[in-house]
């Protein structure tokens, strides 16, 4: 059953909370919309929406306002079987709204011709667009991704490339290309919105919002959707996984290539070939990045000194760790802790 579309935008939500973090520079409320397509991913939708709610709560100001839409104003069933009520149908979307398309595993199929036409119209009249989880697939069908940087969930990227051979999605968790914002869903949706909040009101405010979300500290745009171990698992190559397991089990005292070969029953040349084939990286670089990721977690979650973290992660000195850490993450361990 369709629900009546509202005659005016709903009031901006400014919840009360136990903690307040004032912001400077607020001048106008930013408008966002979420278009829910059938079988959309509920986790991705809520992960994108809640940072706006938390930002308003912390600032006690109407920093952000949002509306939820469906094609006809009716509730939409998510991929988890939960029905979500919406505020209005497609005909109620204002052109000043930054509209995010939310979809799930069938992202390339579920948008009707009416939805695709509405996306083109919104773009033609100056509206900004984005995609959450597989929302980019509908934008691709509308012809709006040519010569743009974008992404969608890694699980759906192979099928997407088969359907749209002229378009190449990014492996990153999220992409912001001027007014186009896309993400792979889940925690990536939160990180994309935190990046936007940081751009609007500063990194410190965004980090407080991140803390309220219990989100990781990394909201950099170039963060990959999958770790090396996830890519190894998806390869289903048992020999590669044997080597990776040996790496993860020996972080404090890294194994040499000869020891990795002995642990896995492979030759050095076989190991190198596996890593280049499936991970497009050398074994040494993957091993180093695993240790640096562990170091980043220790800096974020403990009070260990740089020297202590270096020893725990197999680096011979604090200086060596710091140099490699900065090369990978763009800042020193001290810079992370100052933030």
89 and 207 belong to one structural domain: yes
Q: What's the pLDDT score for residue 334?
A: 77
50 and 93 share a domain?
yes
Residues 171 and 207 in one domain: yes
| Residue 325 located in a structural domain | yes
Q: How many domains does one find in the chain?
A: 2
Whether 323 is in a domain gets the answer yes
Asked if the structure places residue 11 within a domain, the reply is no
In a domain, 314, yes or no: yes
Domain boundary among 187, 212, 237: 212
- pLDDT given at position 335: 73
Residues 299, 180 share a domain: no
**Which residues form the domain of 207?**
30-212
d(CA 111, CA 103): 9
Instruction: Measure the CA–CA gap between 149 and 273, rounded to whole angstroms.
Output: 30
Same-domain check for residues 276 and 185 = no
pLDDT confidence tier of residue 258, bands split at 50, 70 and 90:
very high
Together in a domain, 67 and 167: yes
User: Is the model's pLDDT at 7 over the cut of 50?
Assistant: no
Q: Write down how long the chain is.
A: 339
One domain for residues 157 and 203: yes
Could you give the angle at the alpha carbon of 246 between the alpha carbons of 245 and 247, nearest 5°? 90
Taking residue 278's Cβ as centre, other Cβ atoms within 10 Å add up to 17
Q: What is the pLDDT of residue 71?
A: 97
Tens digits of per-residue pLDDT, 104-144? 989 889 999 999 999 999 999 999 999 999 999 999 999 99
245-260 mean pLDDT:
91
CA distance 214 to 208: 10
Burial (Cβ within 10 Å: 0-12, 13-18, ≥19) of residue 54? buried
Report how far residue 273's alpha carbon sits from residue 218's, in angstroms, rounded to the nearest whole number.
Answer: 31
Give the CATH number for residue 235.
1.10.10.60
146 belongs to a structural domain: yes
């Amino acid at each position: 059953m369709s629900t009546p579309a509202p005659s005016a935008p709903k009031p901006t939500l400014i919840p009360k909370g136990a903690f307040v973090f004032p912001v400077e520079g607020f001048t106008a409320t930013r408008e966002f919309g979420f278009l829910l397509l059938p079988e959309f991913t509920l986790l991705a939708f809520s992960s994108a929406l809640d940072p706006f709610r938390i930002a308003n709560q912390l600032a006690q100001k109407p920093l952000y306002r949002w509306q939820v839409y469906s094609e006809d104003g009716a509730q939409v069933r998510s991929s988890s079987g939960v029905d979500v009520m919406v505020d209005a149908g497609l005909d109620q979307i204002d052109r000043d709204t930054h509209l995010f398309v939310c979809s799930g595993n069938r992202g390339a199929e579920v948008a009707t011709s009416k939805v695709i036409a509405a996306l083109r119209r919104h773009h033609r009249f100056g509206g900004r667009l984005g995609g959450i989880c597989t929302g980019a697939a509908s934008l691709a069908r509308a012809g709006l991704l040519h010569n743009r940087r974008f992404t969608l969930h890694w699980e759906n990227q192979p099928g997407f490339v088969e359907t749209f051979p002229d378009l190449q999605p990014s492996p990153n968790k999220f992409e912001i290309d001027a007014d186009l914002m896309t993400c792979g869903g889940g925690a990536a949706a939160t990180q994309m919105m935190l990046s936007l909040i940081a751009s609007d009101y500063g990194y410190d405010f965004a980090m407080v919002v991140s803390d309220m979300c219990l989100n990781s500290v990394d909201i950099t745009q170039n963060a990959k959707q999958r770790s090396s171990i996830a890519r190894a698992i998806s390869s289903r190559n048992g020999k590669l996984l044997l080597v990776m397991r040996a790496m993860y089990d020996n972080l404090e005292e890294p194994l040499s290539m000869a020891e990795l070969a002995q642990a896995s029953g492979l030759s050095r040349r076989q190991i190198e070939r596996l890593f280049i084939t499936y991970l497009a990286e050398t074994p040494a670089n993957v091993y180093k990045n695993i240790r640096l990721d562990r170091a980043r977690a220790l800096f974020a979650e403990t009070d260990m000194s740089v020297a202590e973290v270096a020893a725990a992660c197999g680096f011979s000195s604090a200086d060596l760790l710091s140099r490699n850490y900065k090369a990978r993450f763009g800042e020193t361990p001290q810079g992370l802790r100052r933030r």
